[in-house]
Chains A and B, each alone.
Chain A
């Protein structure tokens, strides 16, 4: 048997995994999205009726909007915070390794446990946040953070925003590839640290920043634990996102066709946001 034949044999297990759990499900998803099905019997082909129904469903529209807000919060608040801390730690101030280890800690803890923890922190009666506000005399600010429509969504996003460890390490790795000589001229010119970061470091790690944005967008489409555990999507649908919407259509409404159609919308939305990142990166490369 030739090496090439062997090669196909060695590729088979990986190809089988990808086919069974990624490519196959994607094809099935597109088909199921055009059927009406409650899980038993044969799926009934209905064309694009599910998509029409989704568009008319206020819960679904809210879920799409909230998913976009998750991505926006990730790109415009979370990522700049990651960058800020990465820039500070990359200059290796005292105890930088300690800080890096501490900041990365939440990344090894399950999102489920973090969601639980923050459910308790934001709890109206026993929560650390309200208790602290009372102690420092800001009792008027206390509220049921997760049940108040004006604060529910941002409250479920809060742990995601402030736990910057993963993005920080990703960007630090990128910064560490910049040779020290690059900064020499700037230092001789007397450029401030801030100036150096803005006109040397950030432009040089633009690809790393784009990569971090891709990760954050991928996460926004995947985010499930926070609404599931902290709010069950409520109040109303204030915290329902696409992942949670699909779960609910499937597990509580048994609307498998509708759930699949929402899955297809998730894929399309993801592709659009990824494309947007590449467009911006391209523009930055040319500038």
Chain B
């Protein structure tokens, strides 16, 4: 009895601390400045989108959102392509395959934030500073071990007989990759894709050191403008925060099981 009560207290307690802050945020994003400073749980006097339109006028949020999307999609694509190729190569054992595997997994636990200095200069010297492609490539690199781990698990489940049969039929090394490995890895690609895009979408540190203006800044970087330059414009800042949150939450609402599976896929072993 006490056990059951305790269970429900825990579950409801965590539900409250998880949900209430977000509800408060959304509600506040519709309030006027005066209302925000008044009661925390009173409904806004009118539900208008004024805060949202003025936030969109103040800073190019839509451009930030587009940059975030381009960077997330590009980096996920590069990581997935490289992971598929490498996983296929490692299906066949050869002299250095174990070493190659360890090399590719190198960095899975590295605190990559420690690398901002060298990576900053690498990107600057390569001429990709302040460009979505620079940020995208860096993400593809630092998130590669994570993506590779997920993809490899799927590629490894392809039955060897299938590859062997194709080879006997005269399919070349490349043809087997294109016609068997890639199609059969689609579920893994989707899982890794969701995870990698979320990682890239949510990253802040590299995005802020590698970019300079709205041509390449992501929504995570851009949203900070509302705190630094519009210190008094809390309603706008609330609205901007909501806009930064909405895209991944929408994906989650429709695909929650896949997202949960994708985000924890690398950790099940």
Which residues on A are within 8 Å of B, measured CB to CB? Answer: 3-4, 6-18, 20-26, 28-29, 32, 39, 84-85, 88-89, 93, 99-113, 116-121, 125-126, 128, 131-132, 135, 162-164, 166, 169-170, 173, 192-194, 211, 214-215, 218, 221-222, 224-225, 228-229, 242-243, 246-247, 250-251, 256, 259-260, 262-264, 266-267, 270, 274
Contacts and interface: CB of A to CB of B under 8 A. Distances in A.
Contact of B264 (A125, A170, A218): A170
Nearest to B244: A113
Contacts of B119: 21, 25
Contact of A173 (B82, B85, B268): B268
Interface residues of B, number: 92
A270 B109 CA distance: 9
A211 B118 contact: no
Interface stretch (B45-53, B55-63, B142-150, B183-191): B142-150
Contacts of A15: 86, 100, 103-104
B248 A13 contact: no
Contacts of A242: 113-114
Most chain B C-beta atoms within 10 Å of own C-beta, residue among A17, A20, A23, A116? A17
22 contacts: A3-B173, A6-B174, A7-B89, A7-B90, A7-B94, A7-B97, A13-B85, A17-B144, A21-B115, A21-B141, A93-B11, A102-B18, A104-B256, A104-B259, A112-B244, A120-B25, A121-B21, A166-B263, A211-B269, A224-B204, A225-B205, A246-B117
A221 B85 contact: no
Contacts of B148: 14
Contact of A88 (B11, B113, B144): B11
Which among B10, B138, B148 has the highest number of chain A CB atoms within 10 Å? B10
B157 interface: no
A103 B14 contact: yes
B19 A102 contact: yes
B260 A169 contact: yes
User: Would you list the 3 A-B pairs with minimal beta carbon distance, nearest first?
Assistant: A21-B141, A263-B114, A221-B111
Contacts of A128: 20-21, 24, 40
Nearest to A89: B11
Interface of B is mostly: helix
Contact of A14 (B21, B104, B120): B104
A243 B204 CA distance: 12
Contacts of B263: 107-108, 166, 169
A163 B204 contact: no
Interface in B215-269: 220, 223-224, 227, 234, 237-238, 241, 244-245, 248-249, 251-252, 256, 259-260, 263-264, 267-269
A246 B259 contact: no
A11 B244 contact: no
B245 A109 contact: yes
Contacts of B89: 6-11
B34 to A, nearest CB: 11
A109 B165 CA distance: 45
A29 B86 contact: no
B10 A22 contact: no
B158 interface: no
Given A116-B227, A169-B260, A256-B117, A18 B249 contact: no
B181 to A, nearest CB: 10
Given A3-B173, A105-B18, A14 B144 contact: yes
Given A13-B81, A28-B118, A93-B11, 10 more contacts: A14-B83, A20-B141, A108-B249, A108-B251, A110-B220, A126-B36, A162-B18, A218-B111, A250-B209, A251-B209
Contacts of B41: 135
B39 interface: yes
Nearest to A223: B113
A99 B15 contact: yes
Contacts of A164: 14
Given A23-B106, A108-B248, A110-B202, A29 B112 contact: no
Contacts of B21: 117-118, 121, 128
A143 to B, nearest CB: 16
A10 B85 contact: yes
Contacts of B113: 221-222, 224, 242-243, 246, 266
Given A3-B173, A18-B103, A104-B260, A26 B110 contact: yes
Given A21-B142, A22-B106, A24-B122, A250 B116 contact: yes
